[in-house]
């Protein structure tokens, strides 16, 4: 977060809005690599409060514009959305790939809808 903040500040911009897209590593295209890491490394990385930030979506304006700058490191980060699309998803790499681009909230809503239909669990 510090590097992102510095990048914008050095470009003469200030961040005025930001949102974190939060995903657990196993919910991303890095899932296979994540599973291959030793458990001690996964545990150490899990302690980083920004460790599940998959993407930062922000709006920046010129530093001379009125208003305060937002400090990314001071923002709170929610945990990754919990949701299970069922065992049928595990065997479908293509579907997992496309689902990885959905936000955690979208995946959670889809998961709830599938459970109501009796498809997920």
pLDDT by 10s per residue, the chain, length 121: 999 999 999 999 999 999 998 888 888 888 889 889 998 888 888 888 898 899 999 999 999 999 999 999 999 988 776 544 555 555 567 777 777 788 878 877 877 777 666 655 4
CB-based contacts of 44: which residues, under 8 Å, 6+ apart?
none
What backbone phi and psi angles, to 5 degrees, belong to 109? Answer: -65, -40
Question: How is residue 67 written in tokens?
Answer: 């208003």
| Strand locations in the chain (E) | 13-22, 53-62
pTM of the model: 0.61
CB-based contacts of 80: which residues, under 8 Å, 6+ apart?
22, 23, 24, 27, 52, 104
CB 102 within 8 A of CB 110: yes
């Amino acid at each position: 977060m510090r590097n992102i903040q510095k990048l914008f500040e050095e470009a003469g911009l200030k961040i005025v809005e930001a949102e974190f897209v939060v995903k657990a590593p196993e919910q991303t295209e890095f899932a296979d690599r994540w599973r291959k890491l030793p458990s001690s490394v996964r545990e150490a990385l899990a302690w980083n409060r920004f460790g599940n930030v998959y993407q930062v979506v922000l709006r920046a304006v010129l530093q001379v514009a009125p208003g305060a700058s937002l400090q990314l490191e001071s923002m709170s980060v929610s945990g990754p959305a919990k949701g299970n699309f069922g065992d049928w998803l595990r065997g479908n790499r293509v579907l997992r790939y496309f689902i990885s681009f959905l936000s955690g909230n979208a995946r959670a809503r889809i998961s709830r809808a599938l459970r109501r239909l009796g498809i997920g669990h």
